[in-house]
A and B are shown apart, each in its own frame.
Chain A
Amino acid sequence: MPELIPFRWPASWSDPSKLDLLQGTPVNCLVGEAPPPFPLGNLQFVKLDNDRPPEGIALREGVWPRVLPATRKDTAGGGATGSAWVDNNAWVVRLARATEPGKMVWLTYTPPGGNEVVPLDAFVRPIAEAEAFGGRWVVALDKFFTEQLDRRDQKALAQWKRMTAAMRFFETRREWRDWEPLAPLAVVSTFAGDDKLLSQEFLNLAPRRHLAYRALTVQDVAEASFEKQKAVLYLETTPPQPEVRAKLLEFAQEGGLLIVPQGTVDAPPEERKAEHTLRRVGKGRVAMPLQKWEDPFTLVDQVHVLVSHREDPVQVWNDSDMDTFYVANPAQDHAVVHLIPYASGPSLPITLGLRKAYRRARLLTLSSEMAVRPARGPLGFEIPVREFTDYAVVELEA
């Protein structure tokens, strides 16, 4: 069965001629409450039901991705540091892929609605964001966009074309979806129960601090390999069960940094850093918090210092409100760095810093492609990335 590429059919569209919009596009599946009242040809129809998701698909709601705007004249969305709050779905997709491996993740959110008019050019970002992290947005138009298409408005048609071009871009690069993140840190948690908020918000906020991670569930620890990680964070507020504890301590004994809740090990502390005590275990170290973990944003910052920015596989400068996602193929000779800006308008000229050397690099946007030259920098290699909107990716070849 081909992969389903879904489009939420507007309820107001009862005219089959609207299907013309889908001709020649990657869309092969309509979703909604009920099928439209006309033959769909080769298109499938899927009813979205969270209790009975389509086979092979994990449904998640998600949020309209953006820098959160001020909602009243005297307020503004702000993050824990005073910088802008970013609504994003990166962690939602990545966590779903960790908890339901092998399934395609569909994000089912719709545009904000209400009194808010979403600019027509803001509909590409949800597609690119979901695809970059290995998921798929169930493409949905709002009332304004739908009405503009009804009128055959040229701007709306052009934006629709950009959206379908974005879908096609990722369809021709499906292999990226299965590449592994290059991350010094593994975050292990149940991501449920009493620690759900702390652990999920950690994943949500880590990109704001540019902390690259790999997420996996506690039940996957026994089979997991941490050989590509420098540190493992066991993100529960109570110590791990004996089997998991033994596996994690083995990682520390072999030279890794294990960050665990209070009470996990008894060895006396030798050092204090970033509100944690550190003790040597075998060739590695174990860090435990001075006080119980509570604030996920602070914890992200502390963990990043414990692991050290020296271990960041990729750095980005001038990356205000931008997520990066660095993944590589199993042989690690091909990699890509996805760049997803959440602010509207073009990005600044940014610089990527990579620890690893690559022979070739290409900068791709949804409508352009150019070779870029990695230059040696103080901490590795630096790649200039010119201004772009919506999405860009740097393709790397070792």
Chain B
Amino acid sequence: MRQRPSSWTRREWLAAAAAAGLASRGRAAAPSSTVAVARCTSYDHGVPEALKTLFDQIGGIGKLVSGKTVAIKINMTGSLRARTGYRSAWFTRWTHPEVIGAAVRLIGEAGATRIRVLEGSSEDDHPLEEDFLIGGWDPNTILNAAKNVEMENTGSLGLGKEYKRLDVPGGGLIYPAFDCNHSYAECDVMVSIAKLKEHDKAGLSLSLKNMVGAPPGTIYGDSAGYDEPAARPYGARTMFHIGNRQPPEGTPKEKDEKSPRDFGYRVPRITVDIVRARPVHLAIIDGIETQTAGADAALEPDSRRKLVLVKPGVLAASLNPVCADAVAAALMGFSPTAARGAAPFENCDNTLALAEQAGIGAADLDRIEVAGTPIAKLRLPFREQR
């Protein structure tokens, strides 16, 4: 049992204890799946080949995607016009289009009938194609990578006529259900393509945390209305972070409005709720180039995170997002089972452990088969980068 932080209330303490109890029940039951890891040092060459090898090493994706509608949640978090210094966000905090394009091509070749590339903007309701252009990339490179490829900005109603409710089986840790853009309901297969990076409120921002961008900003963002969803998204999902309010009337509210408001308690649990409501069938992690942490890292008091541009030169894939994230954590030099208080979970509960407890997947490296390049050969300890 981890140490009880001195500032916790009795309610927080009981909630944590209950979660810990869930841990001992869930760990054995959580499924495990092979994680394939490959060295890939540049976006300019070798990405499709590396990704194809990864897919082969996890058993192939044909059975998963053939004849199916496949949704791909990418990561384009934060301002579209912000760069880390002169470095484009595609190389620092967003999933790189070469990785997205390669995944789209391979999924198309494996027989998917329709592929939808999805991201929910936190600043506009533009077509996602326009957000690619604002970010400085031609979306046609992805739209033309396979047949029947579409893009949708899921930060709002988008092309749907109504929001679709995704229930969390068993009721969820924080939210019992989420109202989302239609694309998350109208798909057979969900793919999460994440960037390899740390996160100030979730410890890690990988294939699980990437899905927090799925619920729309019009309902869960700072612009959300009280009576109904906003027409357009704007701002962060502060509601998720600190529970300052409930979503608009008609949208499922939190199970317990008196549960801890601490982001370190909430964000990992909401992440787990979202992935249980919208399961991820294929996780891909882009660690070819990245930044070690978000731009806010330097603002945290006594932060041990540093924003450093790095080139881990790695791609990873798995049919289980928890397994993929666990291996990715190890590649970053962290223990995927670290307790709260230990890096990278200094400020929050361990999302991977909670996901394992919820039965989504194994976080314990001893239970995960790693194919391809061994972790030890590719490990790049993020906290040691300068």
Chain A contacts to B: CB under 8 angstroms: 81-82, 210, 273, 301, 304-305, 308-310, 312, 315-319, 349, 351, 353, 377-379, 382, 384
Nearest Cβ on chain B to A78's Cβ, whole angstroms? 11
* Closest A residue by C-beta to B89: A317
A308 to B134, CA, bound (A): 10
Q: Is the CB of A351 within 8 A of B123?
A: no
A384 to B235, CA, bound (A): 28
Q: Is the CB of B133 within 8 A of A377?
A: no
Interface residues of B in 93-149 (CB under 8 A from A): 97, 123-124, 126-127, 130, 133-134, 136-138
When distances are taken between beta carbons in the complex, the residues of chain B under 8 Å from A353 are 136
Determine whether B259 belongs to the interface, using a CB cutoff of 8 Å to chain A.
no
When distances are taken between beta carbons in the complex, the residues of chain A under 8 Å from B137 are 378-379
Task: Knowing A301-B124, A309-B130 are in contact, say whether A318-B136 is a contact too (CB < 8 A).
Answer: no
Nearest first, the 10 A-B pairs at minimum CB distance are A309-B133, A317-B83, A384-B86, A378-B137, A309-B130, A318-B83, A309-B134, A317-B81, A351-B86, A310-B133
Determine whether B223 belongs to the interface, using a CB cutoff of 8 Å to chain A.
yes
Q: Could you pull out 5 A-B pairs where Cβ atoms are within 8 angstroms?
A: A82-B235, A301-B124, A308-B133, A309-B134, A379-B136
Q: Is the CB of B130 within 8 A of A305?
A: yes
* Closest A residue by C-beta to B79: A320
A210 to B97, CA, bound (A): 23
Q: How many residues of B contact A (CB 8 A)?
A: 21
Q: Is the CB of A315 within 8 A of B136?
A: yes
Q: Is the CB of A378 within 8 A of B136?
A: yes
When distances are taken between beta carbons in the complex, the residues of chain A under 8 Å from B223 are 82
Q: Is the CB of B127 within 8 A of A319?
A: no
- Which of B82, B86, B97 is the most central at the interface, judged by chain A CB atoms within 10 Å of its CB? B86
* Closest B residue by C-beta to A209: B124
A315 to B85, CA, bound (A): 16
Q: Is the CB of B234 within 8 A of A82?
A: yes
Task: Knowing A81-B123, A82-B222, A301-B124 are in contact, say whether A379-B81 is a contact too (CB < 8 A).
Answer: no
Q: Is the CB of A318 within 8 A of B124?
A: no
Determine whether B88 belongs to the interface, using a CB cutoff of 8 Å to chain A.
yes
A318 to B137, CA, bound (A): 16
Task: Knowing A315-B134, A377-B136 are in contact, say whether A305-B86 is a contact too (CB < 8 A).
Answer: no
Nearest Cβ on chain A to B292's Cβ, whole angstroms? 19
Q: Is the CB of A318 within 8 A of B82?
A: yes
Contact of A81 among B133, B136, B234 (CB under 8 A): B234
When distances are taken between beta carbons in the complex, the residues of chain B under 8 Å from A316 are 81
* Closest A residue by C-beta to B81: A317
Interface residues of B in 134-176 (CB under 8 A from A): 134, 136-138
Q: From DSSP, what is the main secondary structure of chain A's interface residues?
A: mixed
A309 to B131, CA, bound (A): 8
* Closest B residue by C-beta to A310: B133
When distances are taken between beta carbons in the complex, the residues of chain A under 8 Å from B133 are 308-310, 312, 379
Q: Is the CB of B88 within 8 A of A317?
A: yes
Q: Is the CB of B124 within 8 A of A351?
A: no
Contact of A349 among B86, B97, B235 (CB under 8 A): B86
Task: Knowing A82-B235, A317-B88, A317-B136 are in contact, say whether A305-B127 is a contact too (CB < 8 A).
Answer: yes
Q: Is the CB of A305 within 8 A of B126?
A: yes
Q: Is the CB of B81 within 8 A of A319?
A: yes
Q: Is the CB of A349 within 8 A of B85?
A: yes
* Closest A residue by C-beta to B123: A81
Taking A304-B130, A378-B138, A384-B86 as known contacts, 9 extra A-B pairs with beta carbons closer than 8 A to each other, sorted by chain A number, are A82-B222, A301-B126, A305-B127, A315-B136, A318-B82, A319-B81, A351-B86, A378-B97, A379-B136
Nearest Cβ on chain A to B195's Cβ, whole angstroms? 17
* Closest A residue by C-beta to B137: A378
A308 to B143, CA, bound (A): 16
Nearest Cβ on chain A to B160's Cβ, whole angstroms? 14
A305 to B121, CA, bound (A): 15
A379 to B90, CA, bound (A): 13
Interface residues of B in 213-230 (CB under 8 A from A): 222-223
When distances are taken between beta carbons in the complex, the residues of chain B under 8 Å from A319 are 81
A382 to B127, CA, bound (A): 24
Nearest Cβ on chain B to A394's Cβ, whole angstroms? 14
A353 to B82, CA, bound (A): 13
Task: Knowing A305-B130, A379-B133 are in contact, say whether A317-B82 is a contact too (CB < 8 A).
Answer: yes
A309 to B138, CA, bound (A): 10
Q: Is the CB of A308 within 8 A of B130?
A: yes
Interface residues of B in 67-99 (CB under 8 A from A): 81-83, 85-86, 88, 97
CB-defined interface of B226-258 with A at 8 Å, one 1/0 digit per residue? Answer: 000000001100000000000000000000000
Nearest Cβ on chain A to B347's Cβ, whole angstroms? 26
When distances are taken between beta carbons in the complex, the residues of chain B under 8 Å from A312 are 133
When distances are taken between beta carbons in the complex, the residues of chain A under 8 Å from B130 are 304-305, 308-309
* Closest A residue by C-beta to B135: A317
Interface residues of B in 34-92 (CB under 8 A from A): 81-83, 85-86, 88
* Closest B residue by C-beta to A351: B86
When distances are taken between beta carbons in the complex, the residues of chain A under 8 Å from B83 are 317-318, 351
